[in-house]
Amino acid sequence: MDAIILQTLNGLDKGSAYALIALGLTLIFGTLGVVNFAHGALFMIGAFCAVFLQRLLSLSTVTIDETQKDFLGNPLKVETPYVHNWFGPETGAAIIDWSVPLAILFAIPVMIAVGFIMERGLIKHFYKRPHADQILVTFGLAIVLQEVIKYFYGANPIPTPAPDALAGAVDLGTLVGFDPNVIIYPYWRLIYFFFAALIIGAVFAFLQFTTFGMVVRAGMADRETVGLLGIDIDKRFTIMFGIAAAVAGLAGVMYTPINPPNYHMGMDFLVLSFVVVVVGGMGSLPGAVAAGFLLGVLESYASTTWATTTIPGINQIIIYLVAIIVLLTRPRGLMGKKGVMEE
Amino acid sequence: MSKSNLTRRGLLRNSAIAGAGIAMPTIFTASSAAAYTNEPTGSSVTLGFNVPQTGPYADEGSDELLAQQLAVEHLNGEGDGGCLNTFTSKALKGNGILGKKVEFVTGDTQTKSDAARASAKSMIEKDGAIMINGGSSSGVAVAVQGLCQEAGVIFMAGLTHANDTTGKDRKANGFRHFFNAYMSGAALAPVLANEMGKDRRAYHLTADYNWGWTQEESIVASTEALGWETVNTVKTPLASTDFSSYITPVLNSGADVLVLNHYGGNMVNSLSNAIQFDLLSKQVNGKDFKIVVPLYSELMAAGAGENIKGVLGSMNYNWQLDNEGSKQFVKSFGEKYGKPPSNSAQTCYAQVLLYADACERAGTFNPCGVVEALEGFEFDGLGNGPTLYRAEDHQCFKDVLVVRGAQNPTNAYDTLEIVEITPVDQVTYAPNHPMFGGDDATLGECNPGA
Q: Could you write out the DSSP letters of every residue in A88-137?
A: -HHHHHHHHHTHHHHHHHHHHHHHHHHHHHHHHHTGGGGTTS-HHHHHHH
- Whether residue B166 sits in one domain with residue B102: yes
Per-residue pLDDT for B225 more than 80? yes
- Whether residue B347 sits in one domain with residue B303: no
Residue B17: which pLDDT band, with cuts at 50, 70 and 90?
A: low
CA angle B407, B412, B418 (to 5 degrees): 45
Residue pLDDT, tens place only, A101-135: 999 999 999 999 999 999 999 988 888 888 889 89
Tell whether B32 lies on the interface with A, counting CB pairs under 8 A: no
Spatial separation of the C-alpha atoms in residues B22 and A81, rounded to whole Å: 75
Tell whether B194 lies on the interface with A, counting CB pairs under 8 A: no
Tell whether A88 lies on the interface with B, counting CB pairs under 8 A: no
Nearest-by-Cβ selection for B56 from A71, A185, A264: A264
Per-residue pLDDT for B121 more than 80? yes
Nearest-by-Cβ selection for B278 from A70, A168, A265: A168
Give burial (CB, 10 Å; 0-12/13-18/19+) of B252.
middle
Residue B3: which pLDDT band, with cuts at 50, 70 and 90?
A: very low
Cβ contact, residue pair B56, A155, below 8 Å: yes
Compute CA A309 distance to the chain's CA centroid, rounded to the nearest angstrom.
32
Per-residue pLDDT for B29 more than 60? no
| Cα-based distances in Å from A116 to A42, A245, A315 | 12, 9, 38
Long-range contacts of A115-121 (CB under 8 A, 24+ apart): A115/A42, A115/A241, A115/A242, A115/A243, A115/A244, A115/A245, A115/A246, A116/A238, A116/A241, A116/A242, A116/A245, A118/A38, A118/A241, A118/A245, A119/A32, A119/A238, A119/A241, A119/A242, A120/A238
Q: What is the dihedral of CA B411, B416, B421, B422, to 10 degrees?
A: -170
pLDDT of residue B272: 93
Query: Please, are residues B371 and B446 in contact by the beta-carbon 8 Å criterion?
Result: yes
Which residue of chain A is at minimal alpha-carbon distance from B283?
A: A181
- Whether residue B274 sits in one domain with residue B247: yes
Chain B residues lying within 8 Å of A156, measured CB to CB: 59, 299, 302-303
- B415 located within any domain: no
Tell whether A148 lies on the interface with B, counting CB pairs under 8 A: no
- B31 located within any domain: yes
Compute CA B398 distance to the chain's CA centroid, rounded to the nearest angstrom.
15
Nearest-by-Cβ selection for B334 from A72, A159, A260: A72
Per-residue pLDDT for B10 more than 90? no
Return all residues near B242 (Cβ < 8 A) that are at least 6 apart. A13, A14, A258, A259, B269, B273
Q: Which residue from B204, B205, B146 is spatially nearest to B170, judged by alpha carbons?
A: B146
Q: Which of B315, B332, B358 is at the close of a domain?
A: B315
pTM above 0.80, yes or no: yes
pLDDT of residue B32: 43
Spatial separation of the C-alpha atoms in residues A219 and A324, rounded to whole Å: 31
Alpha-carbon gap: A300 to the closest alpha carbon of chain B (Å): 5
Per-residue pLDDT for B340 more than 50? yes
Indicate the helix (H) or strand (E) that contains B56: none
Spatial separation of the C-alpha atoms in residues B345 and A305, rounded to whole Å: 38
Per the DSSP assignment, residues forming a β-bridge with B404 are: B312, B417
Three-state DSSP class for residue A214: helix
- Whether residue B129 sits in one domain with residue B118: yes
Spatial separation of the C-alpha atoms in residues A315 and A296, rounded to whole Å: 11
- B211 located within any domain: yes
Most confident segment among A320-329, B3-12, B259-268, B394-403: B394-403
- Whether residue B191 sits in one domain with residue B175: no
Instruction: Kindly report the CATH number that applies to the domain delimited by A2-329.
Output: 1.10.3470
Question: Residue range A189-209: average pLDDT?
Answer: 95
- B198 located within any domain: yes
**Other CB atoms within 10 A of residue A329 CB:** 8
Pairwise pLDDT comparison (A295 vs B412), residue with the higher score: A295
Tell whether A300 lies on the interface with B, counting CB pairs under 8 A: yes
Alpha-carbon gap: B46 to the closest alpha carbon of chain A (Å): 29
Question: Residue range A163-182: average pLDDT?
Answer: 87
Per-residue pLDDT for A16 more than 50? yes
Which residue of chain B is at minimal alpha-carbon distance from A77?
A: B411
Q: What is the dihedral of CA B410, B416, B421, B425, to 10 degrees?
A: -170
- Whether residue B343 sits in one domain with residue B268: no
Query: Please, are residues B50 and B133 in contact by the beta-carbon 8 Å criterion?
Result: yes
Tell whether B231 lies on the interface with A, counting CB pairs under 8 A: no
- Whether residue B187 sits in one domain with residue B148: no
Residue pLDDT, tens place only, A219-258: 888 888 888 888 888 888 889 999 999 999 999 999 999 9
Going through B21-130 in order, the beta strands assigned E by DSSP cover 44-51, 101-108
Q: Which of B294, B315, B336 is at the close of a domain?
A: B315
| Cα-based distances in Å from B157 to B120, B138, B350, B369, B440 | 12, 9, 11, 18, 22
Q: What is the mean pLDDT of chain B?
A: 91
Chain A residues lying within 8 Å of B272, measured CB to CB: 159, 258-260
- B383 phi-psi bin (left φ>0, alpha ψ -120 to 50, beta other): left
Residue B30: which pLDDT band, with cuts at 50, 70 and 90?
A: very low
Q: Which of B289, B315, B341 is at the close of a domain?
A: B315
Give burial (CB, 10 Å; 0-12/13-18/19+) of B322.
exposed
pLDDT of residue A107: 96
Q: What is the mean pLDDT of chain A?
A: 90
- B419 located within any domain: no
pLDDT of residue A102: 97
* Total count of domains within chain B: 2
Spatial separation of the C-alpha atoms in residues B216 and B201, rounded to whole Å: 15
| Cα-based distances in Å from A306 to A82, A310, A314, B128, B241 | 52, 6, 11, 54, 21
Indicate the helix (H) or strand (E) that contains B326: helix B324-337
Chain A residues lying within 8 Å of B246, measured CB to CB: 303
Longest dimension (CA), chain B: 116
The domains of chain A are located at 2-329
Longest dimension (CA), chain A: 76
Spatial separation of the C-alpha atoms in residues B365 and B372, rounded to whole Å: 11
Tell whether A55 lies on the interface with B, counting CB pairs under 8 A: no
CA angle A207, A253, A40 (to 5 degrees): 70
Per-residue pLDDT for A329 more than 80? yes
Pairwise pLDDT comparison (B300 vs B331), residue with the higher score: B331
Cβ contact, residue pair A258, B251, below 8 Å: no
Spatial separation of the C-alpha atoms in residues B447 and A343, rounded to whole Å: 61
Phi first, then psi, for residue B161 (nearest 5°) are -115, -10
- Whether residue B142 sits in one domain with residue B77: yes
- B228 located within any domain: yes
pLDDT of residue A70: 86
pLDDT of residue B209: 87
| Cα-based distances in Å from B220 to B94, B197, B293 | 46, 16, 13
> What single-letter amino acid sits at A209?
F
The fraction of chain B above a pLDDT of 70, given in percent, is 92
The CA-to-CA distance between both ends of chain A, in Å, stands at 48
Pairwise pLDDT comparison (B325 vs A229), residue with the higher score: B325
Per-residue pLDDT for A160 more than 50? yes
- Whether residue B230 sits in one domain with residue B124: no
Chain B residues lying within 8 Å of A260, measured CB to CB: 268-269, 272, 303-305
Query: Please, are residues A14 and A22 in contact by the beta-carbon 8 Å criterion?
Result: no
Residue B361: which pLDDT band, with cuts at 50, 70 and 90?
A: very high
Chain A residues lying within 8 Å of B57, measured CB to CB: 155
- Whether residue B156 sits in one domain with residue B35: yes
DSSP B100: B
Residue pLDDT, tens place only, B366-404: 999 999 999 999 999 999 999 999 999 999 999 999 999
Alpha-carbon gap: B55 to the closest alpha carbon of chain A (Å): 7
Q: Which residue from A230, A204, A228 is spatially nearest to A217, judged by alpha carbons?
A: A204
Phi first, then psi, for residue B400 (nearest 5°) are -115, 140
Query: Please, are residues B152 and B447 in contact by the beta-carbon 8 Å criterion?
Result: yes
DSSP B40: -
Chain A residues lying within 8 Å of B340, measured CB to CB: 71
Spatial separation of the C-alpha atoms in residues A167 and B278, rounded to whole Å: 9
CATH number assigned to the domain comprising residue B354: 3.40.50.2300
pLDDT of residue B4: 47
pLDDT of residue B412: 78
Three-state DSSP class for residue B21: helix
What is the ipTM, given to two decimal places? 0.89
Chain B residues lying within 8 Å of A2, measured CB to CB: 252
Q: What is the dihedral of CA B281, B287, B290, B294, to 10 degrees?
A: 180
- Whether residue B376 sits in one domain with residue B358: yes
- Whether residue B146 sits in one domain with residue B15: yes
Spatial separation of the C-alpha atoms in residues A156 and A177, rounded to whole Å: 42
- B332 located within any domain: yes
- B339 located within any domain: yes
Chain B residues lying within 8 Å of A184, measured CB to CB: 251, 277-278
Q: Which residue from A184, A187, A296 is spatially nearest to B252, judged by alpha carbons?
A: A184
Long-range contacts of B426-429 (CB under 8 A, 24+ apart): B426/B186, B426/B187, B426/B190, B427/B179, B427/B182, B427/B183, B427/B186, B427/B187, B427/B397, B427/B399, B427/B400, B428/B397, B429/B182, B429/B186
Spatial separation of the C-alpha atoms in residues A8 and A15, rounded to whole Å: 10
Spatial separation of the C-alpha atoms in residues B349 and B330, rounded to whole Å: 11
> What single-letter amino acid sits at B43?
S
Q: Tell me which residue range forms the domain holding B369.
A: 3-179+319-398
